[in-house]
Chain A
């Protein structure tokens, strides 16, 4: 991922259209996609993406160019999303999904109800619809981690920087998101562990 050189940074601070176009062309759609993945509507995702770039331009004086630009932009997106979510984005220390997951193993750590292979007969469209519904049930921060790690394929370290969380906690949040989705999809008969 690109770091911003001093020259590019200077051009951006002058609002150079070509420099701005480069940044927008590379990052606008991933930011929009991530906002949609976090559950925002089409209009909200467009507004958020616009907001991110406005804040980015306003904060260029403070940006030293050492951070990766994607990390910086996704960090702004995270803060904007949190502002909109407000208290909904609270991270729970004790998540019931942890207990539910642990309950799937016996005292020797073996599966009590072994997972089975996902049903291959489920169509791609059905799978998309099922996951869309199940994503709605994720707490905002877990949904954000899932989107950035699983869909945007960003590293745990990078997502940790974006969300101001430790790498270990990013792993915990990804695990919780995946186990919630798995449980939800089981309920829809898409993957099952019966």
Chain B
């Protein structure tokens, strides 16, 4: 069975989708058995959600004419 360190590292590096089928199955099996690694995965998800929510506030910052103004400046 894979260790918590191996599983959490694979999840954190984002390498899991590119890992072999055997490896992905091993991670799935480990997660089914280990609540600590499931908690770790939830933490990563929460970090991602908060970062995307912060980023969404940046989207609202530029005025509606942002793109149009930029094109005007580029065409000068």
Determine which of A21, A109, A181 lies in contact with B4 in the assembled complex, contact meaning CB atoms within 8 Å: A109
Q: How many residue pairs at the A-B interface have CB separations less than 8 Å? A: 135
Q: Is the CB of A111 within 8 A of B55?
A: no
Give the distance in Å from the alpha carbon of A158 to the alpha carbon of B74 in the complex. Answer: 27
Determine which of A42, A151, A175 lies in contact with B12 in the assembled complex, contact meaning CB atoms within 8 Å: A175
Q: Is the CB of A124 within 8 A of B53?
A: yes
The B contact surface, by secondary structure, is helix
Q: Count of chain A residues with Cβ under 8 Å from any Cβ of B?
A: 59
Q: Is the CB of A174 within 8 A of B70?
A: no
Q: Is the CB of A171 within 8 A of B71?
A: no
The A contact surface, by secondary structure, is helix
Q: Count of chain B residues with Cβ under 8 Å from any Cβ of A?
A: 39
Q: Is the CB of A21 within 8 A of B71?
A: yes
Measuring CB to CB, which residues of chain B are less than 8 angstroms from any residue of chain A? Answer: 3-6, 9, 12-15, 18, 36-37, 39-40, 42-44, 46-55, 57-59, 61-62, 66-67, 70-71, 73-75
**A36 contacts which chain B residues (CB < 8 A)?**
55, 58, 61
